[in-house]
Structure 1
């Protein structure tokens, strides 16, 4: 039922629109036009006022066919923004995949999901497939800390449950668990002095911070928990004892208690190092989004597995180490799992989108709509 050439052409059209995260206006306007032309109701929310991004999230409603009004409301979500370098993308079909010219990303993360949604809507309408109410949520700012979903105008989303079309791995992969994340920002204080004349009068913030980090458990903490120091900056010249260091870090875990324990461990390491060197630290942490986990016998997972089998794919149940809009939406009380859409080498200039996976993603959306 999928019109492959139409789907490929629409995907190419979408990725050619510049939409690096924070600059989503052009793609948002195009999507509003496309979904509206298909007869769907499109509302742009007010999140732009708080995110500072170029557009708001789009909440799109596909009204039910006659006799299907009492069915549960399902939804699908993808994000419209991309990472850098994502300007002036020149996509091309190379063999059985779509690629960029190698100077930019392709943008299949996550315009593959959006293209699949649009094709699925067309097929459902063309084939007059009965369906309940379906919503589509297209977010901004996913690539900059899930900002769009975190500031979503939640009352626009009326769904009972749904699916994020935003995971790597082939169509068939079902992400049933993903971690919560804490962002950590630390300022380690020191005392400046001349490094050659009177270094003993100074306190090196670099030395204090390094001592703290050396006492931390980092990397893979256990099968459910990770932690990382991502950025360390400070100092101005080699002849000055550094008086301030700024550190950016994170911790993740599938279990909230483990996350909090790891954050406390990192805080304690900084505080003990500061005490040892008679200085101080400012430690701040923030939970960015909650974890989620579903068992294999959860109705949402069962529906996804059945849909995979219907389109000829073998379902594979997986956990993820990364966060997505699915984390945030689960936190709003809307059961959501993340599904593989088959894009490859995302966030690199070698990114590619196999055409067969693009087609299967559209087939999957149709199958899930039919199930409802």
Structure 2
């Protein structure tokens, strides 16, 4: 199943083929599903797919499992192969284990539950689009449709057993510098280079990991019209992340100050926009959703370990909306790179972990 899913391209907004394959699997298990109409509004070929697995026993803790169907855009062919028990992409680009490994695991776990008629307290499956570009599908989903208030995503490139206790908030920052165009050979002194101003701003920023829970990055720079014209405009897209709201505010303001200072000292102007892309969260180790995951991991033979993430997942959205959603490491390695890989044994182990969490949830009160 994973090899089949990984071979289907599904960059953000173009998830239809993978969605149809998931739907076919749900229908083969005799499960009802529905797809919301968010696709059109968010620019995707699919909406969010929700499936409820019948058979809840009326006791215990119902859970939902969520995975996203998009991947970062591949820049080569998708040719997943198994070498020495490890799945890689022979095509020289991403594998797509993020997050198709979770999709395959969740489908297989539910297949076993259906075939074996395993009792459970209630299971819902949710498959989202456009996670990689800002958790867009999850934000578009009406979370009130979920009956479960506790959920899990497997979207952390970490060893099986790792439970993510928290993830950061992110501010997206866009700055557009305005200068003055002129011929770069005939009258360079008449020009005001917006690219120079943007470069000065970036040079003055604290980028990378700024402390143990914060980071900053400038990811995109674009500007100018031709090689022989002093550039009259330049845009930078940047971000600041932190698990601490105060630190996030300070880091964001530092970046805005660098933009303003660089523009003023370069005889340019700058327009800025700041948007909170998503909100962070933090769990205590005795949080019931965390304790339930830990119990499932132990039953499957893994010693739980806790950590914090520097990245976001659909879990951020559900926690922001009052649900308790925990992200678990699932054995993915080097995601978003041509070296992305996952062991077959880890795929199989995460099925066992899922079934153990389902069993522990049924027995919980």
**Pairwise TM-score range, normalised by the shorter structure:** over 0.9
| 1:160 and 2:158 are equivalent in the alignment | no
Q: Does residue 211 of structure 2 align to residue 216 of structure 1?
A: no
User: Does residue 250 of the first structure (1) align with residue 251 of the second (2)?
Assistant: no
- In structure 1, the gaps of 5 or more residues are 1-9
Give the C-alpha shift of residue 81 in structure 1: 1.5
Indicate how the Cα distance of structure 1 residues 188 and 38 shifts in structure 2: closer, same or farther if over 3 A, else same: same
Q: CA deviation at 1:349?
A: 2.8
Secondary structure in structure 2 of the residue aligned to 1:142: coil
* Contact 1:47–1:153 (Cα < 8 Å) also in 2: no
Tell me what 1:35 maps to.
26
Post-superposition Cα deviations, 1:154-175, rounded to whole Å, max 9, x if no partner, equal 3322221111111111211111
Which of 302, 306, 319 pairs up with 2:291? 302
From 3, 12, 17, the equivalent of 2:3 is 12
Q: Contact 2:78–2:91 (CA<8 Å) still a contact in 1? A: no
Aligned to 1:323: 312
SS in 2 for 1:182: strand
| Cα distance change, pair 262–55 in 1 and its aligned pair in 2 (3 A) | same
TM-superposed CA distance for 1:364, in Å, is 0.8
TM alignment of 1:17-166, pairs within 5 A: 17-65=8-56, 68-85=57-74, 89-166=78-155
Secondary structure class of the residue paired with 1:275: helix
Aligned to 1:186: 175
Task: Name the Cα RMSD after superposition.
Answer: 1.9
TM-score by length of structure 2 reads: 0.93
Paired residues of 1:82 and 1:143 also in contact (CA < 8 A): yes
Answer with 121-130 or 286-295: which moved more: 121-130
Distance 1:357 1:263, change over 3 A: same
The residue correspondences of 1:166-181 to structure 2 (distance < 5 A) are: 166-181=155-170
Contact in 1 for aligned 2:77/2:91 (Cα 8 Å): no
Q: Distance in 2 between matches of 1:45 and 1:87?
A: 31
Deviation at 1:291, TM superposition (A): 0.5
1:338 to 315, 327, 340: 327
Query: 2:300 aligned to 287, 290, 311, which one?
Result: 311
Q: 1:74 to 1:195 in 2, by over 3 A?
A: same
Q: What is the distance in 1 between the residues matched to 2:247 and 2:276?
A: 13
Distance 1:113 1:198 in 2: 58
- Residue-by-residue CA offset, 1:211-260 (whole Å, 9 max, x unaligned): 32333222222211111112222223454322111111111111222212
Partner residue of 1:4? none
- Cα deviation code 1:279-298 (max 9, x no counterpart): 32110111111101111121
Structure 1 residues 99, 201: CA separation in 2 closer, same or farther (over 3 Å shift)? Answer: closer
Q: What is the Cα deviation at residue 86 of structure 1?
A: 7.1
Query: 1:81 aligns to what SS in structure 2?
Result: coil
**Separation in 2 of the partners of 1:83 and 1:367?**
30
Give the TM-score, by structure 1 length.
0.91
Q: Secondary structure at the match of 2:158?
A: coil
Q: Which runs of 5+ in 2 are unaligned?
A: none
Q: Paired residue for 1:285? A: 274
Q: Distance in 2 between matches of 1:62 and 1:371?
A: 17
1:303 aligned counterpart, secondary structure: helix
**Which residue in the other structure is 1:276 paired with?**
265
Q: 1:225 aligns with which of 209, 214, 220?
A: 214
How far off is 1:88 after superposition? 5.5
Tell me how many residue pairs correspond in the alignment.
361
Alpha-carbon deviation of 1:99? 2.4
CA distance 1:75–1:87, change in 2 (3 Å): farther
Partner residue of 1:262?
Answer: 251
Q: Which moved more, 1:280-289 or 1:206-215?
A: 206-215
Provide the C-alpha distance between the structure 1 equivalents of 2:76 and 2:25, rounded to a whole number of angstroms: 21
What is the deviation of 1:106? 2.3
